[in-house]
Each structure stands twice: as C-alpha cells, then as structure tokens.
Amino acid sequence: LVVLILVWVGSSLLPGDTDTTDTAATTAELPIVFKADKDDVASIAVKNELGSFTLLPQVVVKDGTSSIAWSIDGLTDLPVSQTAIDKVVTVGTILYASKEISAGDANLAPFGLDNPKTQVTVKLKSGESHTISFGNELASGYFDYAILDQSGTIYSVASSTVASAKLAVTDLLDST
C-alpha cells in the first residue's frame, strides 16, 4: 500500500501531458439572444401570466457620476427594489443562451413560443423595438425556450434568468 501511494504521489509530481485548460463555458462562448446598451433603451415592457408593467430609465447624477436608475411606469411614488428591477433590465439588455436549439422556420408550438407565457419588449431610443418571447420550460427544469422577434431561431436560456421577467409588478416593490 505504501508503494502504491509513493508511486501515485511521484507520478503527480512528474511533468507530463496533463491538460490544465478550463473546460467551463464562459459568457464569451455563449450565444447572445439579445444585447442593447442601457443608454440606448427608451423602455422595457414586460408581459407575463401575472400582468404587465413597463420600466423607464432615468439618468441620476450622484457625486458627479451619472448612472441609470429604473422606475415602474405609473408607480413612481412607490418605493421599488432597484435590485429586483435591475434583474429584469438585464433580461432586456443582455440575454445569453445556453445553446441554440433550432434555426430557421421551426414549428413554435412544441416550444410554447406560438403563445408565449412571458414577453419582454425593448424599445430603443432609435425607434426600434425588439421582443424576446419565452415559452415552455425544458424537461431538465433549468432552462426555458426563447426566441427574439419571432425570428425562427430558438434558444434555451437559464430559467433562473427568465424568473425575473415572470414576476408580478408587486414583486418589484421594496418591502422594507
């Protein structure tokens, strides 16, 4: 037994043909469903099974530094959870897919994209408008189907990311 341990320790110390590359996927390798600069966004409208709401950007200057804060259209007098809103904004400004499922003219019904459960519509200051639709959850329970502008390319996106777009407007209010 001692000899086996010494051989194992010795072999791990010898230079060899070990692969030390990281095989984990990085965001640079993931397909992007949609990307927009927050400065270019005029509004983000969310429609889901619990209702709909629209987020509006506001430039805020604090200590000489400007940043964007988001408010809920029609609820500007209520305290909001900027953290919860920022998660929704992220879905509308940079959405990564885990992989591309189908490209081209696929039947959207099996994916739940013919009648999406959740939609995020991003209106840009240029006048462009893009809608990200979310359909059924994949069998694994960790991903949902998504499509941009009913383009035909279907993606799988993390359910944890989509969850923020499935919230009711009341979930975005500050509870403290």
Strand ranges inside the chain, DSSP E? 32-35, 41-48, 51-62, 65-72, 94-96, 99-102, 118-124, 129-137, 143-148, 154-158
pLDDT digits (tens, 9 = 90+) for 13-68: 444 444 444 444 455 588 899 999 999 999 999 999 999 999 999 888 888 888 88
pTM: 0.79
Residue 75: both structure tokens together? 């609820």
The more confident residue out of 11 and 29 is 29
pLDDT band at 9, cuts 50/70/90? low
Distance of CA 21 to the CA centre of its chain: 27
- List 69's β-bridge partners, or say none: 58
Task: Please name the residues in contact with 55: beta carbons below 8 A apart, sequence gap of 6 or more.
Answer: 43, 44, 45, 46, 70, 71, 72, 73, 85, 88, 89, 92
Q: What is the pLDDT of residue 62?
A: 84
Q: What's the CA gap between 43 and 139, in Å, rounded?
A: 33
Residue 107's pLDDT is 84
> pLDDT at position 17, please?
44
83-140 tens-digit pLDDT:
899 999 999 999 999 999 887 777 889 999 999 999 999 999 999 999 999 999 998 8
